[in-house]
Chain A
Amino acid sequence: MSEAHSSSSFHIPRIRTIACTILAVLGVIALFTVDLRLGFGLIGLASFIALKLIPFEVNPLTARKLKRFREIKRGYYSFIILVVLSILSLFAELFVNDRALVVSYDGDWYFPTYSSVKLGSTFGLDGNLANTPVNYRQLQQHFQQQDAGNFVIMPLVPFSPNENNTFEGVLRPQPPNSETEHYLGTDSTGRDILSRLIYGFRIAVFFALAFMVMVYLIGITVGCLMGYFGGWFDLFVQRLIEIWSLVPFIYMVIIIFSVIPTNFSIPVRIFILLSIMVFFSWTGMTYYMRTATYREKARDYTAAAQVIGASAPRIIFHHILPNAVSTVVTFMPFTVAAAITAVTALDFLGFGLPPPTPSIGEILKQGTSSLEAPWIVSSAFVALVFILTLVTFIGEAVREAFDPKKFTTYK
Chain B
Amino acid sequence: MMNSATYKSISTVATFSIIAALTLITGCGGSADEEEFQPHDNSVEVEAYYQTFKRTPPDLAAALRSGEITQEELNRRMEDIPNFFQFRSLADLPNTLEWEDGLDLPEFADAEAIQGGTLYGALQDFPRTLRIIGPDANGSFRPYLLDDVALRIARRHPNVTEIGPKGHFHYPELAEKWAVDYENKTVFVKLSPDARWSDGEQVTSDDFMFMFFLFQSSYIREPWYNNWYTESYTGITRYDDLTFSISVPENKPDMNARVLSLRPLPRHFYSELGDDFVQRYQWRFQPTTGAYIINDEDIRKGTSIVLTRLENWWAQDKKFLRNRFNYGRIRLTVVRDVSKSFESFKRGDLDRSGLVNLPEYHFEKLPDSAPEIQNGYIQKATFYNDVPRPTYGLWINQSKQLLDNRDIREGIHFATNFERVIEEYFRGDYVRMNTTADGYGEFTHPGIRARSYNVDKALEFFGKAGFLDRGPDGILVNGRGQRLSFTLTTGYRNFQDMLTILKEEAANAGLEFRLEVLDSTAGWKKIQEKNHDIAFSAFNVSPEMYPRYWETYHSVNAYDEPYLADGSTPNPNRKPKTQTNNLQCIAIPELDRMIEAYRRSIDAEEMRKLAFAMEEVLYEDASFVPAFARPFYRVAYWRWMRFPKDFNVKLSRDHSEYYLGWIDPELKEATLSARRSGDTFPVTIEVYDQFRLDDSQSEKEISLVQPTP
Chain A residues engaging chain B, CB cutoff 8 angstroms: 116-117, 119, 128, 131-133, 162-164, 166, 169-173, 188-190, 254-255, 258, 262-263, 349-351, 355-356, 369-370, 372-373
With both chains docked as a complex, state the minimum distance between the C-beta of A265 and any C-beta of chain B, in angstroms.
8
Q: Are B424 and A169 in contact (CB under 8 A)?
A: yes
Q: Are B424 and A171 in contact (CB under 8 A)?
A: yes
Tell me the complex Cα distance, A370–B487, Å: 30
Q: Are A171 and B500 in contact (CB under 8 A)?
A: no
Tell me the complex Cα distance, A125–B15, Å: 51
When C-beta atoms are compared, the residue in chain A nearest to B366 turns out to be A372
Q: For A131, what are the chain B residues with a Cβ–Cβ distance below 8 Å?
A: 455-456, 459
When C-beta atoms are compared, the residue in chain B nearest to A373 turns out to be B364
Q: Are B14 and A254 in contact (CB under 8 A)?
A: yes
Q: A116-B473, A116-B474 are in contact. List 11 more A-B contacts (CB 8 A).
A: A132-B509, A164-B424, A170-B425, A189-B501, A190-B424, A258-B519, A350-B12, A350-B493, A351-B14, A355-B500, A356-B515
Q: Does B360 reach chain A (CB closer than 8 Å)?
A: yes
Q: Are A170 and B500 in contact (CB under 8 A)?
A: no
Q: Are A170 and B424 in contact (CB under 8 A)?
A: yes
Q: For A370, what are the chain B residues with a Cβ–Cβ distance below 8 Å?
A: 360, 364-365
When C-beta atoms are compared, the residue in chain B nearest to A129 turns out to be B455
Q: For A356, what are the chain B residues with a Cβ–Cβ distance below 8 Å?
A: 500, 515
Q: For B13, what are the chain A residues with a Cβ–Cβ distance below 8 Å?
A: 254, 349-351
B window 465-510: CB within 8 A of A: 470-474, 487, 493, 496-497, 500-501, 504, 507-509
- A/B interface sample: 21 pairs, CB < 8 A: A116-B471, A117-B470, A128-B455, A132-B508, A133-B474, A133-B507, A133-B508, A166-B424, A169-B423, A171-B425, A173-B364, A189-B425, A189-B497, A189-B501, A255-B14, A263-B487, A349-B13, A350-B493, A351-B13, A355-B515, A356-B500
Tell me the complex Cα distance, A251–B519, Å: 16
Tell me the complex Cα distance, A166–B423, Å: 10
Chain B 419-448 per-residue mask, 1 if CB under 8 angstroms from chain A, else 0:
000011101100000000000000000000
B window 8-37: CB within 8 A of A: 12-14
Q: Does B517 reach chain A (CB closer than 8 Å)?
A: yes
Q: Are A189 and B423 in contact (CB under 8 A)?
A: no
With both chains docked as a complex, state the minimum distance between the C-beta of A191 and any C-beta of chain B, in angstroms.
9
Q: Are A128 and B456 in contact (CB under 8 A)?
A: yes
Q: Does B518 reach chain A (CB closer than 8 Å)?
A: yes
Tell me the complex Cα distance, A278–B627, Å: 42
Q: For A128, what are the chain B residues with a Cβ–Cβ distance below 8 Å?
A: 455-456
Q: Does B516 reach chain A (CB closer than 8 Å)?
A: yes
Whether A172 touches B364, Cβ cut-off 8 Å, given contacts A117-B473, A350-B13, A355-B496, is: yes
- Return the contact of B517 from the options A132, A172, A262 (Cβ within 8 A): A262
Q: Does B599 reach chain A (CB closer than 8 Å)?
A: no
Q: For A258, what are the chain B residues with a Cβ–Cβ distance below 8 Å?
A: 14, 519
Q: Does B514 reach chain A (CB closer than 8 Å)?
A: yes
Tell me the complex Cα distance, A171–B474, Å: 25
When C-beta atoms are compared, the residue in chain A nearest to B472 turns out to be A116
Q: Are B455 and A170 in contact (CB under 8 A)?
A: no
- Return the contact of B500 from the options A164, A166, A351 (Cβ within 8 A): A164
Q: For A171, what are the chain B residues with a Cβ–Cβ distance below 8 Å?
A: 424-425, 501
Chain B 310-343 per-residue mask, 1 if CB under 8 angstroms from chain A, else 0:
0000000000000000000000000000010000
With both chains docked as a complex, state the minimum distance between the C-beta of B531 and any C-beta of chain A, in angstroms.
10
Q: Are A369 and B339 in contact (CB under 8 A)?
A: yes
Q: For B517, what are the chain A residues with a Cβ–Cβ distance below 8 Å?
A: 262, 355
Q: For A166, what are the chain B residues with a Cβ–Cβ distance below 8 Å?
A: 424
Q: Are A117 and B514 in contact (CB under 8 A)?
A: no
- Return the contact of A188 from the options B14, B360, B427 (Cβ within 8 A): B360
Please tell me the size bucket of the interface on B: 35 or more
Q: For B518, what are the chain A residues with a Cβ–Cβ distance below 8 Å?
A: 262
With both chains docked as a complex, state the minimum distance between the C-beta of B705 and any C-beta of chain A, in angstroms.
33
Interface residues of A: mostly helix, strand, loop or mixed? Answer: loop
With both chains docked as a complex, state the minimum distance between the C-beta of B251 and any C-beta of chain A, in angstroms.
48
Q: Does B363 reach chain A (CB closer than 8 Å)?
A: yes
With both chains docked as a complex, state the minimum distance between the C-beta of A261 and any C-beta of chain B, in angstroms.
8
- Return the contact of B474 from the options A117, A170, A369, A372 (Cβ within 8 A): A117
Q: For B496, what are the chain A residues with a Cβ–Cβ distance below 8 Å?
A: 355
Chain B 621-663 per-residue mask, 1 if CB under 8 angstroms from chain A, else 0:
0000000000000000000000000000000000000000000
Q: For B508, what are the chain A residues with a Cβ–Cβ distance below 8 Å?
A: 132-133
Tell me the complex Cα distance, A18–B472, Å: 34
When C-beta atoms are compared, the residue in chain B nearest to A132 turns out to be B508
Whether A162 touches B472, Cβ cut-off 8 Å, given contacts A170-B427, A350-B493, is: no
- Return the contact of B365 from the options A170, A254, A263, A372 (Cβ within 8 A): A372
Tell me the complex Cα distance, A371–B381, Å: 24
Closest 9 CB pairs of A and B: A117-B474, A116-B472, A132-B508, A189-B497, A170-B427, A262-B516, A171-B424, A133-B474, A349-B13
With both chains docked as a complex, state the minimum distance between the C-beta of B339 and any C-beta of chain A, in angstroms.
6
Q: For B339, what are the chain A residues with a Cβ–Cβ distance below 8 Å?
A: 369
When C-beta atoms are compared, the residue in chain A nearest to B428 turns out to be A170
When C-beta atoms are compared, the residue in chain A nearest to B493 turns out to be A350
Tell me the complex Cα distance, A119–B472, Å: 11
Tell me the complex Cα distance, A173–B364, Å: 9
- Return the contact of A117 from the options B459, B472, B493, B504 (Cβ within 8 A): B472
Tell me the complex Cα distance, A273–B497, Å: 22
When C-beta atoms are compared, the residue in chain B nearest to A265 turns out to be B514
Whether A132 touches B455, Cβ cut-off 8 Å, given contacts A119-B470, A163-B504, A172-B363, is: yes
Q: For B472, what are the chain A residues with a Cβ–Cβ distance below 8 Å?
A: 116-117
Chain B 588-625 per-residue mask, 1 if CB under 8 angstroms from chain A, else 0:
00000000000000000000000000000000000000
Tell me the complex Cα distance, A170–B362, Å: 14
With both chains docked as a complex, state the minimum distance between the C-beta of B413 and any C-beta of chain A, in angstroms.
17
Q: Are B500 and A189 in contact (CB under 8 A)?
A: yes
Tell me the complex Cα distance, A132–B427, Å: 25
With both chains docked as a complex, state the minimum distance between the C-beta of A117 and any C-beta of chain B, in angstroms.
3
When C-beta atoms are compared, the residue in chain B nearest to A116 turns out to be B472
Tell me the complex Cα distance, A307–B646, Å: 98
Q: For B360, what are the chain A residues with a Cβ–Cβ distance below 8 Å?
A: 188, 370
Tell me the complex Cα distance, A373–B364, Å: 9
With both chains docked as a complex, state the minimum distance between the C-beta of B373 and any C-beta of chain A, in angstroms.
14
Tell me the complex Cα distance, A355–B508, Å: 20
- Max chain B C-beta neighbours (<10 A), residue from A132, A162, A166, A373: A132
Q: For B519, what are the chain A residues with a Cβ–Cβ distance below 8 Å?
A: 258
With both chains docked as a complex, state the minimum distance between the C-beta of B680 and any C-beta of chain A, in angstroms.
22
When C-beta atoms are compared, the residue in chain A nearest to B365 turns out to be A372
Tell me the complex Cα distance, A170–B12, Å: 27
- Return the contact of B514 from the options A173, A263, A350 (Cβ within 8 A): A263
With both chains docked as a complex, state the minimum distance between the C-beta of A113 and any C-beta of chain B, in angstroms.
14
Tell me the complex Cα distance, A119–B14, Å: 44
- Max chain A C-beta neighbours (<10 A), residue from B474, B493, B496: B474
- Max chain A C-beta neighbours (<10 A), residue from B13, B365, B424, B472: B424
Tell me the complex Cα distance, A351–B517, Å: 12
With both chains docked as a complex, state the minimum distance between the C-beta of A373 and any C-beta of chain B, in angstroms.
8
Q: For A132, what are the chain B residues with a Cβ–Cβ distance below 8 Å?
A: 455, 508-509
Q: For B424, what are the chain A residues with a Cβ–Cβ distance below 8 Å?
A: 164, 166, 169-171, 190
With both chains docked as a complex, state the minimum distance between the C-beta of B489 and any C-beta of chain A, in angstroms.
8
When C-beta atoms are compared, the residue in chain A nearest to B498 turns out to be A189
With both chains docked as a complex, state the minimum distance between the C-beta of A398 and any C-beta of chain B, in angstroms.
35
Tell me the complex Cα distance, A144–B13, Å: 50
Q: For A172, what are the chain B residues with a Cβ–Cβ distance below 8 Å?
A: 363-364, 427
When C-beta atoms are compared, the residue in chain B nearest to A127 turns out to be B456
When C-beta atoms are compared, the residue in chain A nearest to B458 turns out to be A131
With both chains docked as a complex, state the minimum distance between the C-beta of A248 and any C-beta of chain B, in angstroms.
11
Tell me the complex Cα distance, A146–B509, Å: 26
- Return the contact of B516 from the options A133, A173, A255, A263 (Cβ within 8 A): A263
When C-beta atoms are compared, the residue in chain B nearest to A366 turns out to be B497
When C-beta atoms are compared, the residue in chain A nearest to B338 turns out to be A369
Tell me the complex Cα distance, A369–B507, Å: 30
With both chains docked as a complex, state the minimum distance between the C-beta of A38 and any C-beta of chain B, in angstroms.
14
Q: For B423, what are the chain A residues with a Cβ–Cβ distance below 8 Å?
A: 169-170
With both chains docked as a complex, state the minimum distance between the C-beta of B604 and any C-beta of chain A, in angstroms.
42
Q: For B516, what are the chain A residues with a Cβ–Cβ distance below 8 Å?
A: 262-263
